[in-house]
Amino acid sequence: MKDFYSNRKYVIAGLFLFISLIYIIRLFSLQVVNKSYRLSASSNVSRSVTQYPARGLIYDRNGELLVSNEAVYDLMVVPNQLQKFDTANFCTILNISIDDVRKKIKQAKDYSFYTASPFLKQISSKTYAVLQEKMYKFRGFFVQPRTLRKYTGEIASHALGYVSEVNEKTIKENQYYRMGDYIGKSGIEKSYEDVLRGRKGVSIYMVDVHGRKMGSYKEGKHDITAIVGVNIVTTLNTDLQEYGELLMRNKIGSIVAIEPCTGEVLALVSSPCYDPALLIGRIRSENFIKLQQDTLKPLFNRALMAQYPPGSTFKPINGLIGLQEKVIYPSTEYDCDQGFYGGGIFVGCHNHDSPLNLPRAIQNSCNTYFCNVFRNILENRRYGSVAEAFNSWREYVMSFGFGSKLDSDFTNELKGFVPEASYYDKYYGKNGWRAMTLISLAIGQGELATTPLQMANMVTVIANRGFYYIPHIVKSIEGQKDIYSLYKKKRKTKIDSSHFEVIINGMDWAVNGEPGTGSTARRARIEGITVCGKTGTAQNPHGEDHSIFIAFAPKNEPKIALSVYVENGGWGSTYAAPIASLMIEKYLTDTLTRGWLEEFILNTNLIDHEEKGNTLE
Amino acid sequence: MRRKVILWNSIDWVTILVYLILVFLGWINIFTAEYDEEHKSILDISQRYGKQIIWIGTTFLLAFLVVVIDSRFYHFFAYAIYGLLIFFLLAVLVFGREIHGARSWFEFGPIRIQPSEFVKFATGLALAKYLSAKHLNINNIKSLASAAIIVMVPVLLISLQPDMGSALVFFSLVLVLYRNGLSGSIFFAGIFVAILSILTLFFDKLIITTSIIIVSFAVFWIVERKMKYVIYAMAIFAVISGSLYGLKELFTFALSIYFILVMSVVLSGLVYLFLSYRRKIRNVSIIYFLLVGALVFTFSENYVFNNVLEPHQQKRINIVLGIEFDPAGSGYNINQSKIAIGSGGFSGKGFLKGTQTKFKFVPEQSTDFIFCTVGEEWGFIGTLTVIALFSILLIRIIKLAERQRSAFERLYGYVVFSIISFHVVVNIGMTIGLFPVIGIPLPFFSYGGSSLWAFTILLFIFLRMDAGRMEHFI
């Protein structure tokens, strides 16, 4: 076969050889002619020092500084550059034993022969000054400036979170981190780690044979500039947060306060709390273990992670669902003779006026009324079966943010629990249960589990008459126009906004009703401010019940919505209601008119002295 | 048995020797790139260097199998093999495992296989078979389109993974078409388009447009050889663009210079076409449409670059073209890679003495950036050796291809050449900052079983064909 194109082999081969030639010229210029790339063949004359940027600062919503940084020094070691040195002198300067030195060098070698790893962390400026003069004697060591977190106050430890060294798992998973790097481990420090950490840089220094710095290599041409962490403004109100922590002292529980019109978290208190300064620096690991072993679990963020049945604070939701499903009307009345009897089941109630309509049932927290409402919802003829009606009820409940994570910017948020029909099928068999079987859900007991954050969010929904923004703790990030659109999107519940007014009136009367009308939360009253609230008691099989109060104020154009939990506090009205009331007054007026009430709360100690958790203070 | 003895004697041992050297050098460079104090043995199979020796061992077995099969097998089953591999490409999109955002891998227990590596030789076989058909005119639109489909199906499927680097490799097969008689003007037009697209990213569209117009006048002169025509044409263009500019100034229209220029091209084009028709000047319309084509191309490229490409892709292209200087950003890899190679100097830092690589400054050290290790530890001598070895291998492949008696085998030889040379050029080019960072391995060198297996099969099928070139024709 004739081949007319045989000569093209020269074109093709020529093309390749031409490119090879260009590459060889380029390599020659890179490797032989251009000396700037030749750092060194022995790796002794240059040394890369990681530049750790300062983490971003954290402010409260009014621009008050919450978290900043202070300088410390890490002594680093590069095992393959080590040479014999005066160990005794070295140990004296650093105040460590020779065994320590051996152990630490072994550790460094285990990590890497060529890469620097920390030998002794967080040397004080004073030791550093002495060490710096003698550094030339210790080849293979160098000092790395670092920054540590510094806290302005002793507050908001749970919300802010803490920073600690990365563990090996993270190093393996994420290319960015190296041994000895710091990383946010909880709270804002964790959820905004990418923003706060900035970006590490590398400086390349010329080093003489004695390991002394001789200036930067090539005027820093090959350095990578570190980028300082970005500052964050949180939604927290320092005064309110501080006051909340004060009120919760000697009590176990939590306070979550949210600004309803934005979903911004104003205060997030989990008690007992701890001083965030305990978890920085060299004292960190020791303190961390202490805190971890504390029986009162101060590290546990109750506001996000404690799950309780909501108790009577859940009654407004059942009322709303009843209205939406048209199984009751605001004027619907039910008799209550100290309890509810139905299908052989009895739910007790306290002594109050009878019969009551919906707002007054909220005011009096009548169990009987809400058992009737709940039965109406589940036995609604619109649905083919109780199970179907139940799942519809569940969807309403879920639309308030229960039973799933709210997707807030908190880490470690828990889901709570709202059972499905299938959950009961498993226990009672299909069609083996009726409205009466689940009647405890009517008054927020039973299988329901909610977190304090979810409850605060529920109040937000009521305050807003039907919608919420995902609660979040970061207001703005420096240099970014807006926080994530996730937190700007209005979330509607499945309840029409017109139904809320009745419920809100009930919550108003619960606090501000005339004496003798059965108001359950009169302790939350504030002169001149219409507080709307609802008490609740979470049953506690292990001891005294938990005291719960949810509230928002003012009634029209609400500025604050909150949930307060006091574990083992008994009735909702006893401790939780006054605490919520004091918080509202503090936030709205910044003055306190009821010294006696404040004193009562401050003097209450619900923690057994034997296992007092404040030993660390 | 007689045939095997002949095979032993007639197989090209030069190529095999170069191949073995490359595989061996690759292995010791993987060793030094991944070297771990804790695991000092090069045979430690918990490390990549230990794993690579398993891949190498199995590869030799595979090469042996490829060689003992009758060479007519590859011709006969070319389309079947192609079809099977395309099926695997489809399957990997569904059942594949996603790693680093691309669904390119099948996972069988501890082993991961990347089908896109194997599609290369399969596509080569199918293309060679198609092109070697008798009476096929490659410049005929229909056959060109069929050849293009054979190549574009895998390109499309691999882009869906998405693995742009592996997809781009297939474009190198245009060399095979060229060798088989693809019109030189189409081939060089392709190269012209490639250059134009790079210039478009470099320069402002106004400069590009102006230059294209000037080039068109020059081409007109070259084709017609009559200065008079060119001057007429320029005059017409000047009058039209001048009056448009005048109108703009007079009525203060908000028109950009670029818009005026494009309008002038359109309006004067109408005049040219009319005049050339009247005076029977040939080529005017061809040149004019090429001009418009080039303008549309630059415009759409700008559009694609700014609106279709992801910001990180734009950045990578810009870095290579030196448009943005950003050592801490996406130029980081290239910069670190250049420092590693540059720091090797003339003779390198020595085996296991590299520091840039030990500090893990360079990413993908043992796979895509293995050439850095060569540069740092073996210096210019090392890099020159590696390039020389590849040059010997590739020139040898051309030589073997040209001595084949059948078109199928010769074209397959060029497939082998195109694919290996594209990998070498792009891979080395990116480590020394002359190419964008496209993640494709250095043949026989980079860590990874799939690529080693696939390149070995690619090469040894051809060696088998070459060894048997006398078998069926004597």
Cβ–Cβ of B398/A19 closer than 8 Å?
A: no
DSSP annotation of A217? G
User: Mean pLDDT, to the nearest integer, of A166-190?
Assistant: 83
DSSP annotation of A31? I
Cβ–Cβ of A26/B432 closer than 8 Å?
A: yes
Task: Please say if the pLDDT value at position A531 is more than 80.
Answer: yes
Query: Sign of the C-alpha dihedral, residues B219, B223, B225, B227?
Result: negative
- By the CB < 8 Å criterion, does A8 face chain B? yes
Task: Please say if the pLDDT value at position A507 is more than 70.
Answer: yes
Q: Which residue of A has its CA nearest to B390?
A: A20
Q: What is the pLDDT of residue B359?
A: 47
At B260-288, the pLDDT tens digits run 888 888 888 888 888 888 877 767 777 78
Distance from CA of B328 to the nearest CA of A (A): 5
Q: What is the pLDDT of residue A221?
A: 67
The residue among A255, A192, A275 whose CA lies nearest residue A474 is A192
- Of A394-403, A561-570, B107-116, B308-317, the poorest mean pLDDT is in B308-317
Q: Which residues of B214-246 are buried (b: 16+ CB within 10 A; e: fewer)?
A: eebbeebeeebeeeebbeebeebbeebbeebee
Cβ–Cβ of A115/B360 closer than 8 Å?
A: yes
**Residue of A523 and A266 predicted with greater confidence:** A266
DSSP annotation of A33? I
Q: What is the pLDDT of residue A207?
A: 59
Residues 203-262 of chain B with CB under 8 A from chain A are none
- Of A210-224, A302-316, A390-404, A448-462, the poorest mean pLDDT is in A210-224
Task: Please say if the pLDDT value at position A549 is more than 90.
Answer: yes
Distance from CA of B367 to the nearest CA of A (A): 16
Task: Please say if the pLDDT value at position B361 is more than 70.
Answer: no
- Please report the DSSP string for A494-555 in residue order: SS-GGGHHHHHHHHHHHHHPPTTS--S-GGG-BTTB--EEEEEEE--TTSSPEEEEEEEESS
Q: Residues of A with CB below 8 A from B375's CB? A: 27, 30-31
- B319's enclosing H/E stretch is helix B311-320
Q: Residues of A with CB below 8 A from B341's CB? A: 27, 30-31, 37
Nearest to A32 among B339, B346, B356 (CB): B346
Distance from CA of A2 to the nearest CA of B (A): 10
Q: How far apart are CA A526 and CA A585, in angstroms?
A: 7
pLDDT tier at A616, thresholds 50, 70, 90 = very low
Q: How far apart are CA B12 and CA B399, in angstroms?
A: 11
- By the CB < 8 Å criterion, does A29 face chain B? no
Nearest to A27 among B363, B401, B432 (CB): B432
Task: Please say if the pLDDT value at position B327 is more than 60.
Answer: no
Quick one: A603 exposed, middle or buried, by C-beta within 10 A (0-12, 13-18, 19+)? exposed
- B219's enclosing H/E stretch is helix B205-224
Q: Residues of A with CB below 8 A from B185's CB? A: none
- By the CB < 8 Å criterion, does B37 face chain A? yes
pLDDT tier at B325, thresholds 50, 70, 90 = very low
- B267's enclosing H/E stretch is helix B257-279
User: Mean pLDDT, to the nearest integer, of A483-502?
Assistant: 87
Asked if residues A54 and B410 have their Cβ atoms less than 8 Å apart, the reply is: no
User: Mean pLDDT, to the nearest integer, of A216-229?
Assistant: 75
Residues 206-235 of chain A with CB under 8 A from chain B are 222, 224-225, 227
Structure tokens at A573: 């009205």
Residue type for position A75: L
- By the CB < 8 Å criterion, does B328 face chain A? yes
Rg (CA), chain A: 32
Cβ–Cβ of B375/A9 closer than 8 Å?
A: no
Q: Which residue of B has its CA nearest to A2?
A: B407
Q: Which residue of A has its CA nearest to B173?
A: A12
Q: How far apart are CA B322 and CA B316, in angstroms?
A: 10
Mean pLDDT of chain B: 82
Q: Collapse the DSSP code of A314 into the 3-class scheme (helix H, G, I; strand E, B; otherwise coil) and give the result.
A: helix
pLDDT tier at B37, thresholds 50, 70, 90 = low
Instruction: Report strand pairing: A201-207 vs A182-184.
Output: unpaired
Q: What is the pLDDT of residue A43?
A: 44
Q: Which residue of A has its CA nearest to B400?
A: A9
Which residue in B359, B393, B408, B422 has the most chain A C-beta atoms within 10 A of its own C-beta, making it the best mutation to test that interface? B359
Peptide bond into A272 cis (omega under 30): yes
Q: Residues of B with CB below 8 A from A34's CB? A: 342
pLDDT tier at B456, thresholds 50, 70, 90 = very high
- By the CB < 8 Å criterion, does A30 face chain B? yes
Residues 383-412 of chain B with CB under 8 A from chain A are 383-384, 387, 390-391, 394-395, 398, 401-402, 407
pLDDT tier at B124, thresholds 50, 70, 90 = very high
Residues 146-185 of chain B with CB under 8 A from chain A are 175, 178-181
User: Mean pLDDT, to the nearest integer, of B346-364?
Assistant: 67
Q: Residues of A with CB below 8 A from B434's CB? A: 22-23, 26
Distance of CA A186 to the CA centre of its chain: 7
Nearest to B179 among A8, A16, A113 (CB): A8
Which residue in A3, A7, A27, A221 has the most chain B C-beta atoms within 10 A of its own C-beta, making it the best mutation to test that interface? A27
At B370-400, the pLDDT tens digits run 898 899 889 999 999 999 999 999 999 999 9
Cβ–Cβ of A41/B345 closer than 8 Å?
A: yes
pLDDT tier at B324, thresholds 50, 70, 90 = very low
Task: Please say if the pLDDT value at position A580 is more than 80.
Answer: yes
- By the CB < 8 Å criterion, does B83 face chain A? no
Q: Which residue of A has its CA nearest to B135?
A: A1
- By the CB < 8 Å criterion, does A199 face chain B? yes
Q: What is the pLDDT of residue A613?
A: 42
DSSP H helix total and E strand total for chain A: 20, 20
Task: Please say if the pLDDT value at position A492 is more than 60.
Answer: yes
Cβ–Cβ of A9/B179 closer than 8 Å?
A: yes
- By the CB < 8 Å criterion, does A34 face chain B? yes
**Residue of B35 and B152 predicted with greater confidence:** B152
Residues 6+ apart with CB under 8 A from A557: none
Domain spans, chain A: 238-274+301-616
Q: How far apart are CA B121 and CA B101, in angstroms?
A: 25
Helix intervals (H) in A294-357 = 302-305, 315-324
Q: What is the dihedral of CA A439, A442, A446, A450, to 10 degrees?
A: 160
Task: Please say if the pLDDT value at position B333 is more than 80.
Answer: no
Phi (first) and psi of residue A49, to 5 degrees: -115, 125
Cβ–Cβ of A27/B434 closer than 8 Å?
A: no
The residue among A219, A217, A225 whose CA lies nearest residue A200 is A225
Asked if residues B358 and B454 have their Cβ atoms less than 8 Å apart, the reply is: no
Residue type for position A493: T
The residue among A42, A32, A31 whose CA lies nearest residue B350 is A42
Class of domain A238-274+301-616: alpha beta
Peptide bond into B311 cis (omega under 30): no
- Of A435-439, A496-500, A538-542, B58-62, the poorest mean pLDDT is in A538-542
Asked if residues A472 and A304 have their Cβ atoms less than 8 Å apart, the reply is: no
Q: What is the pLDDT of residue A603?
A: 84
User: Mean pLDDT, to the nearest integer, of A307-317?
Assistant: 91
Q: Residues of A with CB below 8 A from B355's CB? A: 39, 43, 114
- By the CB < 8 Å criterion, does A10 face chain B? no
Q: What is the pLDDT of residue B22?
A: 95
Q: Collapse the DSSP code of A202 into the 3-class scheme (helix H, G, I; strand E, B; otherwise coil) and give the result.
A: strand
pLDDT tier at B35, thresholds 50, 70, 90 = confident
Q: What is the pLDDT of residue B344?
A: 83
Task: Please say if the pLDDT value at position A550 is more than 50.
Answer: yes
Q: What is the pLDDT of residue A462?
A: 94
Q: What is the pLDDT of residue A143?
A: 83
Strands of B238-340 (E only): list them: none
Q: How far apart are CA B66 and CA B77, in angstroms?
A: 14
Nearest to A9 among B37, B349, B402 (CB): B402
- Please report the DSSP string for B392-404 in residue order: HHHHHHHHHHHT-
The widest CA-to-CA distance across chain A, in whole angstroms, is 114
DSSP H helix total and E strand total for chain B: 19, 3
Q: What is the pLDDT of residue A609?
A: 45
> Any idea which residue has 């059948």 for tokens?
B406
At B54-75, the pLDDT tens digits run 999 999 999 999 998 888 899 9
Supply the ipTM of this predicted assembly: 0.79
- By the CB < 8 Å criterion, does B429 face chain A? yes
Q: How far apart are CA A176 and CA A349, in angstroms?
A: 60
Q: Which residue of B has its CA nearest to A112?
A: B37
At A32-84, the pLDDT tens digits run 887 666 544 344 456 667 788 889 999 999 988 999 888 888 888 888 777 78
Q: What is the pLDDT of residue B474?
A: 42
Cβ–Cβ of A20/B353 closer than 8 Å?
A: no
Q: How far apart are CA B22 and CA B446, in angstroms?
A: 10
End-to-end C-alpha distance for chain B, whole angstroms: 18
Instruction: Report strand pairing: A58-59 vs A232-234.
Output: parallel
At A348-387, the pLDDT tens digits run 888 888 888 999 999 998 999 999 999 999 988 888 888 8
Structure tokens at A598: 């404040």
Asked if residues A195 and A118 have their Cβ atoms less than 8 Å apart, the reply is: no
Structure tokens at B165: 């680097």
Within 13 A of B176's CA, how many CA atoms are on the CB side? 36
pLDDT tier at A259, thresholds 50, 70, 90 = very high
- By the CB < 8 Å criterion, does B342 face chain A? yes
CA-CA distances (angstroms) from residue A194 to A258, A483, B45? 25, 14, 36
Task: Please say if the pLDDT value at position A346 is more than 80.
Answer: yes
Residues 6+ apart with CB under 8 A from A199: A53, A226, A227, B328
Within 13 A of A369's CA, how many CA atoms are on the CB side? 29
Q: How far apart are CA B16 and CA A381, in angstroms?
A: 83
| CB-defined contacts A:B, below 8 A | 122
Q: What is the pLDDT of residue B435?
A: 76
The residue among A225, A218, A205 whose CA lies nearest residue A36 is A218
DSSP annotation of A486? G
Q: What is the pLDDT of residue B320?
A: 54
